[in-house]
Structure 1
Amino acid sequence: MSLHPKPDFGVPHETAAVARAAFPRGHAYLRLRDALGPIYTDIQFAGLFARVGQPAACPWRLALITLLQFSENLSDRRAADAVRARIDWKYLLGLDLTDPGFDASVLSEFRSRLVAGEAEALLFDTLLTLCRERGLLAKRGRQRTDATHVLGAVRSLNRLGCAIETLRAALSALAAAAPDWLRAHTDPSWIERYGRSIDDFHIPQGETARRACAEAIGDDGHRLLAAVDAKAAPGWLRNVPAMVVLRRVWLQNFHVAEPPTEGSQGDRRIRWRTEAEGIPAALVMVASPYDPDVYYAKKRATTWIGDTVHLTETCDDAQPPLIVHVATTADPIVDWAVLDPLHAALATKGLLPARHLVDAAYIDADGLVAAARDHDVVLIGPVSKDNQWQARTEGAFTIEAFHLDWDRKIATCPAGHDSRSWHPNYNLGRTVIRIRFAAQHC
Structure 2
Amino acid sequence: MLFPSQAFADMYAPVNGRPSVPPGLLATVVVLQSLQGLSDEEAVGALRFDLRWKAACGLGLYDPGFDPSLLTYFRRRLAGSSEPDRIFGIVRAVVEQTGVLAGRTRRALDSAVLLDAVATQDTITQLIAAIRRVARQVPGASALVAAHCHACDYTDPGKPRIAWDDEEAKSALVSGLVTDALALLDHLAGQELDESAEHAVGLLALIAGQDVEPVDGSDGTDGRWRIARRTAPDRIISTVDVEARHIHKSQEQRDDGYKAHLAVEPETGLFTAVALRPGAGAACHEATVAPGLLAHERGPLQILADAAYAAAGLRAALTDAGHRLLIKPPALKPAVIGGFTLDDFAIDTAAGTVTCPAGHTVPLAAPGGRYQQRRATFTGLCAACPLRERCTTAQTGRVLTIRPHHHLQAAARHQAATDPAWQDDYRRWRPMVERAVAWLVARGNRRLHYRGTAANDRWLHHRAAALNLRRLVNLGLTHTNGIWTLVPITA
Shorter-chain TM-score category?
Answer: 0.7 to 0.9
Whole-Å separation in 1 of the counterparts to 2:151 and 2:314: 57
Whole-Å separation in 1 of the counterparts to 2:101 and 2:361: 53
Partner AA of 1:326 in structure 2: V
Deviation at 1:326, TM superposition (A): 0.5
User: Kindly tell me: are residues 383 and 189 of structure 1, through their superposed partners in 2, closer, same or farther at Cα, counting changes over 3 Å?
Assistant: closer
Which consecutive unaligned segments of at least 5 residues does structure 2 have?
384-491
> Which of 224, 233, 243 lines up with 1:293 in the alignment?
243
Partner AA of 2:310 in structure 1: I
Which consecutive unaligned segments of at least 5 residues does structure 1 have?
1-37
Report the counterpart of residue 438 of structure 1 in structure 2.
379
Partner AA of 1:41 in structure 2: P
SS of 1:419 mapped into structure 2: strand
Report the counterpart of residue 111 of structure 1 in structure 2.
75
Whole-Å separation in 1 of the counterparts to 2:284 and 2:237: 24
What are the superposed Cα offsets for residues 272-305 of structure 1, whole Å, 9 maximum, x if unpaired?
4747xx9641x2x221112222222212212222
For residues 361-380 of structure 1, the aligned pairs below 5 Å read: 361-374=308-321, 376-380=322-326
Partner AA of 2:332 in structure 1: D
Aligned residues with identical type, % of pairs: 23
Asked whether 1:133 is paired with 2:97, we answer yes
Kept after mapping to 2: 8 A contact 1:402/1:411: yes
- RMSD between superposed Cα atoms in Å: 3.5
Kept after mapping to 2: 8 A contact 1:141/1:353: yes
Report the counterpart of residue 4 of structure 1 in structure 2.
none
Deviation at 1:367, TM superposition (A): 3.2
Whole-Å separation in 2 of the counterparts to 1:237 and 1:400: 54
Partner AA of 1:436 in structure 2: T
> Which of 120, 137, 156 lines up with 1:195 in the alignment?
156
Whole-Å separation in 2 of the counterparts to 1:405 and 1:269: 58
Report the counterpart of residue 35 of structure 1 in structure 2.
none
User: Kindly tell me: are residues 60 and 430 of structure 1, through their superposed partners in 2, closer, same or farther at Cα, counting changes over 3 Å?
Assistant: farther
Report the counterpart of residue 214 of structure 1 in structure 2.
174
User: Kindly tell me: are residues 158 and 353 of structure 1, through their superposed partners in 2, closer, same or farther at Cα, counting changes over 3 Å?
Assistant: farther
SS of 1:127 mapped into structure 2: helix
Deviation at 1:246, TM superposition (A): 0.8
Deviation at 1:59, TM superposition (A): 0.9
RCO higher in structure (CA 8 A, sep ≥6): 2
Partner AA of 2:178 in structure 1: G
Whole-Å separation in 2 of the counterparts to 1:70 and 1:379: 33
Deviation at 1:327, TM superposition (A): 1.6
Deviation at 1:44, TM superposition (A): 1.5
Whole-Å separation in 1 of the counterparts to 2:196 and 2:57: 49
Whole-Å separation in 1 of the counterparts to 2:228 and 2:133: 24
SS of 2:365 mapped into structure 1: strand
Report the counterpart of residue 16 of structure 1 in structure 2.
none
Asked whether 1:185 is paired with 2:147, we answer yes
User: Kindly tell me: are residues 347 and 421 of structure 1, through their superposed partners in 2, closer, same or farther at Cα, counting changes over 3 Å?
Assistant: closer
SS of 1:166 mapped into structure 2: helix
Whole-Å separation in 2 of the counterparts to 1:298 and 1:397: 29
Q: Which is greater in Rg?
A: 1
> Which of 178, 185, 197 lines up with 1:225 in the alignment?
185
Report the counterpart of residue 15 of structure 1 in structure 2.
none
Asked whether 1:88 is paired with 2:52, we answer yes
SS of 1:380 mapped into structure 2: strand
Whole-Å separation in 1 of the counterparts to 2:80 and 2:195: 27
Report the counterpart of residue 304 of structure 1 in structure 2.
255
Report the counterpart of residue 269 of structure 2 in structure 1.
321
For residues 21-100 of structure 1, the aligned pairs below 5 Å read: 38-53=1-16, 55-56=18-19, 57-100=21-64
User: Kindly tell me: are residues 363 and 88 of structure 1, through their superposed partners in 2, closer, same or farther at Cα, counting changes over 3 Å?
Assistant: same
Deviation at 1:345, TM superposition (A): 4.3
User: Kindly tell me: are residues 367 and 388 of structure 1, through their superposed partners in 2, closer, same or farther at Cα, counting changes over 3 Å?
Assistant: farther
- Give the TM-score normalised by the residue count of structure 2: 0.68
Kept after mapping to 2: 8 A contact 1:423/1:435: no
Report the counterpart of residue 332 of structure 2 in structure 1.
386
User: Kindly tell me: are residues 188 and 420 of structure 1, through their superposed partners in 2, closer, same or farther at Cα, counting changes over 3 Å?
Assistant: closer
Partner AA of 1:198 in structure 2: K
User: Kindly tell me: are residues 414 and 180 of structure 1, through their superposed partners in 2, closer, same or farther at Cα, counting changes over 3 Å?
Assistant: closer
Deviation at 1:58, TM superposition (A): 0.9
Asked whether 1:147 is paired with 2:111, we answer yes
Deviation at 1:321, TM superposition (A): 2.0
User: Kindly tell me: are residues 46 and 414 of structure 1, through their superposed partners in 2, closer, same or farther at Cα, counting changes over 3 Å?
Assistant: same
User: Kindly tell me: are residues 200 and 314 of structure 1, through their superposed partners in 2, closer, same or farther at Cα, counting changes over 3 Å?
Assistant: farther
SS of 1:439 mapped into structure 2: coil
Partner AA of 2:241 in structure 1: D
Kept after mapping to 1: 8 A contact 2:246/2:257: yes
Kept after mapping to 1: 8 A contact 2:135/2:145: no
Whole-Å separation in 2 of the counterparts to 1:362 and 1:243: 38
Kept after mapping to 2: 8 A contact 1:334/1:361: no
Deviation at 1:122, TM superposition (A): 0.5
What are the superposed Cα offsets for residues 232-286 of structure 1, whole Å, 9 maximum, x if unpaired?
x8856992543331122123345689x989xxxx9554644747xx9641x2x22
For residues 226-265 of structure 1, the aligned pairs below 5 Å read: 226-229=186-189, 239=197, 241-254=199-212
> Which of 329, 338, 347 lines up with 1:404 in the alignment?
347
Report the counterpart of residue 400 of structure 2 in structure 1.
none
Whole-Å separation in 2 of the counterparts to 1:166 and 1:354: 48
Aligned residues: 381
Kept after mapping to 2: 8 A contact 1:296/1:331: yes
Kept after mapping to 1: 8 A contact 2:148/2:180: no
What are the superposed Cα offsets for residues 98-144 of structure 1, whole Å, 9 maximum, x if unpaired?
43321111111100100111432100011001111011223452221
SS of 1:247 mapped into structure 2: helix
Report the counterpart of residue 362 of structure 2 in structure 1.
419
Report the counterpart of residue 121 of structure 1 in structure 2.
85
User: Kindly tell me: are residues 335 and 359 of structure 1, through their superposed partners in 2, closer, same or farther at Cα, counting changes over 3 Å?
Assistant: farther
Deviation at 1:54, TM superposition (A): 5.3
